[in-house]
Structure 1
C-alpha cells in the first residue's frame, strides 16, 4: 500500500537527475561507471585477482602520453587508436578521490554551461578543452608522466563560467577581472599544495583547458557568434 505522504507523491518533489541536462548525466554516468568498476576490482569484489591491474592497463591503453604524441609528430604517423586518447583520457582517473572532485565540478559547472549555452555547446566545450589541455601538455612539456582525469575538461567549464561572468560584469560596468577569481583561487591552492606535496605538471593541462574553454565561448556563448558577424560586416 502506498502512502500519500511519501516524497514520490509530493507535487513539489523532483528526482535530482531530472534537473540535470541529459548530456551532463551521460558524462557523469560514464565517468562514475568506469571508476565504480575499477574501485570494485581493486577491492576484490569483481574480476578476480587480475582486476587489481585494470586501472594501470586502462591508463596504458587509453590515457594520454606526451612522449607518445611527440613520437607521432616526429614520425608523422597518426594512428586513430592513439589519437582517440585525446578524448578518452578525461574518463580515466587514478583513484576514487581523484574522480570524486572532478565529478562534483562536472555536475555543477556542466549544468550551468548546458543551461546557458545549450547541451551540444557544453559537450563541445568539455571535449575541446580536454583536447586543448592535452595538446598543451605534450607540446609545452617533456614530461613522461601520463595524463589522465577530467580536470583539463572541467577547467574548460570553469573557463566558460568565467567568460559568462566576464561578459556580465562588462555589461554592468563592473570590474571584469573579478570573473577570474575562481581560476585564480584554484591556481593559488595548487601553488600552496605544491609546498607540501608533489603535484606534477598536470596544472599545465588544466590551465590550458581553462584558456581553451574561455576562448571557445567567444563562438558558442549565446549571442557571441552574431556579434562576431556584425563586427565583420562593419569592416
Structure 2
C-alpha cells in the first residue's frame, strides 16, 4: 500500500475522487460537446411536446392538460432538480404554461387554415354566458348546404361576438370531423392571428433557451 506523499494518488494510480472512465464522485463527466448535444435534445424535446399537448387539448381537453402537466413536471425536475438550475427551471415552467395558452389556438387555427374545408353557415344565435371569470361567448351556427348540421361553438373556436345572429359567414370545417368549425376573424381582429403566432414562436424559443441554458450550466452535485 502507498501512504502520504503520493500527490493525491491512491493505490490504483488514480487521482483522489476520480474513477477511471470520466466519473467524478460517482457521476460521469460529460465533455463540452456531449453536454451541448444533450442540452440541445432536451431544449428541442420540451417545447415540441408542449406544442403537441396544446394541440391535443383542442381535441380532448383533459388529455392535452395531462400531457402539458407531465412535460412541465419532467422539465422542472430535470433542470431544477438534476441540473440544479432553479432559475432556469422556473422560467421554463412559466414560459411553458404561457406557451400552451397561445399555442392551442395557434395550432387549431393553423390546422383549419391548412386542411379545413370552407362551408357556408348562418349564425343562429350568439350568447354571452357571463361566467365568473368573464365573458364566455357561445355561437350557434347551421350549415346552409350539405347536411345542414348545427354546431355550438365557443371562444375556443374563435366565437367572440364578431358575427351577429342572422349573419351568413364562411367557416372552416375539419375534414376528419374531430374538431368543431373555426369561425373567421372580424374586421377589427385582423392582426390577432399574427400576434398569436409571433407570441407562440417567442415563447417556444424562450422555453427552449431556458432548458438549453440549464443544461449547459448544470451543476454536478
Please state which structure has a larger fraction of its residues in helix: 1
Instruction: Look at both structures and tell me which one has the larger radius of gyration over its CA atoms.
Output: 2
Between 1 and 2, higher relative CO (CA 8 Å, sep ≥ 6) is seen in 2
TM-score normalised over the length of structure 1? 0.29
